[in-house]
A = this chain, B = another copy of it.
Amino acid sequence: MSKFNCMVAQSGGPTVAINSSLAGVISGAMSCDLYDRVYGSVNGILGILENRITDLTALIEKDSENLTCLKHTPAMYLGSCRYKLPDYNDPSASDERFGTAKECYDFIFSQFEKYNVGAFFYIGGNDSMDTVLKLSEYGASIGSDVRIIGIPKTIDNDLMLTDHTPGFGSAAKYIATSLLEIAHDTYIYAVKSVTIVEIMGRDAGWLTAASCLARNSYNSAPHLIYLPECDFNEDEFIEDVKKLLEERNNVIIAVSEGIHDADGNYISATEAAADKFGHSQLSGAGKALEYMVKDRIGVKVRSVEVNVLQRCAAHLASMTDLNESFASGEYGVKCAADGITGAMITVTRREGEYAVDYGYAQIKGIANEARSVPREWINERGNDVNPEMVDYLLPLIQGEVTLKYENGMPVYMDVEHLI
């Protein structure tokens, strides 16, 4: 039987586990009779269009430890892109660099032919699944045999038809741990204070909800949790903070960057900077809540933006997440070998003790859709999560990584080819 090669790329925002899925694809292909080498396209689909292709099998052949190192390296070994393929159904669609839509797609499939590619894997989130959809539909229309498979990843956990998304568990573990550490930091002063922690997630509140895992026998923080799935009401917020301040010194609040009022307007403070450049800036939800507390309560207040570390702090990854991400990549290869195409790998949770099964779903119901937190997992007041959320989240942050350290620093994969 003549063998095919695989091609793989990564797209969208980084997570701690997206390289683990990449390692899973390489591992899956290396142990699959149908496939020979795995080629990586650098900077997502752009790497195919711009001829930036690297041999990933060679990387592992050089040193098998690279597979483990890759599994633990944050962000994307192959780099990313935010590129949306033109619509091939639109006769006027084109790309100034790559020609008409048809020329774009034909070039991609000619690259597949040149590299003898039998399966293409795209590891990414919502937008990346749009690329999977378009490539698989176009492939079908030209009678291509190349299998097109999406491997899910996102810290937002908002992909449809999967119980959860690789990359989310690690971000959740980082958020919960950070919240607990911030709580320890806050409790030291016996003065009234409010601390607001702004967490990523514009449309879905999963990651902000994960802050609830910081609670333990002595720590009840975060005392309030605001997700974009509920309308934010400023008066109720101030009322709730005031009430908490009557009972305790330190109030700690977790808030999603995407909270909005009943009219759908994002909660943010517009700041017209009075510096010499005359900037006007839209500050985030955390800052906006900080101002509200400062003005309407007048207590000591600080807002903390957790920022990019929530998606790249590989030293605090969830081992469950890394293992599932790896398995998703491997399972993607199995699906492709079984003839599946135009699908995304899914994770299904079993009943009873935590365990998952891998499966796939047709990409059509997934691309460009987003999965929100169910309203019934949020309390009635819209300022906390319900126990169902805790039960859902807890298994996903289990297990710690053992990183290799040299000279006191974690050893990650060399990404010089991206720089």
A contacts, CB < 8 Å to B: 10, 14, 43, 46, 73-76, 79-82, 173, 176-178, 180-182, 184-185, 187-190, 213-214, 216-219, 248-250, 269-275, 277, 279-281, 283, 288, 291, 294-295, 304-305, 307-309, 311-316, 318, 394, 397-400, 405, 407-410, 412, 414-416, 418-419
A275 to B307, CA, bound (A): 23
A180 to B270, CA, bound (A): 32
Q: CB distance B408 to A248 under 8 Å?
A: no
A-B contact pairs, 14 of them (CB 8 A): A43-B189, A43-B190, A180-B410, A181-B314, A184-B412, A187-B418, A213-B408, A213-B409, A219-B419, A270-B275, A273-B283, A316-B316, A394-B408, A399-B408
Q: Which residues of B contact A82 (CB under 8 A)?
A: 189
Q: Which residues of B contact A308 (CB under 8 A)?
A: 182, 185, 304
Question: How near does chain B come to A252, taking the closest CB pair, in angstroms?
Answer: 11
Q: CB distance B271 to A281 under 8 Å?
A: yes
Q: CB distance A218 to B279 under 8 Å?
A: no
Q: Which residues of B contact A279 (CB under 8 A)?
A: 269, 271, 291, 294
A14: nearest chain-B partner, CB-CB? B185
Q: CB distance B407 to A185 under 8 Å?
A: no
Q: Which residues of B contact A309 (CB under 8 A)?
A: 178, 181-182, 309
A152 to B31, CA, bound (A): 56
Q: Which residues of B contact A272 (CB under 8 A)?
A: 271-274
Q: Which residues of B contact A184 (CB under 8 A)?
A: 14, 73-75, 312, 314, 412, 415
**Given A218-B416, A218-B419, A308-B182, A280-B269 contact (CB < 8 Å):** no
Given contacts A182-B308, A182-B309, 17 further A-B contacts (CB under 8 A): A82-B189, A176-B408, A176-B409, A177-B410, A178-B313, A180-B412, A217-B414, A217-B416, A218-B416, A249-B419, A270-B273, A271-B271, A272-B272, A275-B291, A309-B309, A318-B408, A397-B409
A185 CB contact (under 8 Å) in B188, B213, B312: B312
A400 to B123, CA, bound (A): 32
Q: Which residues of B contact A180 (CB under 8 A)?
A: 409-410, 412
Question: How near does chain B come to A55, taking the closest CB pair, in angstroms?
Answer: 18
Q: CB distance A277 to B291 under 8 Å?
A: yes
**Given A177-B315, A182-B312, A75-B187 contact (CB < 8 Å):** yes
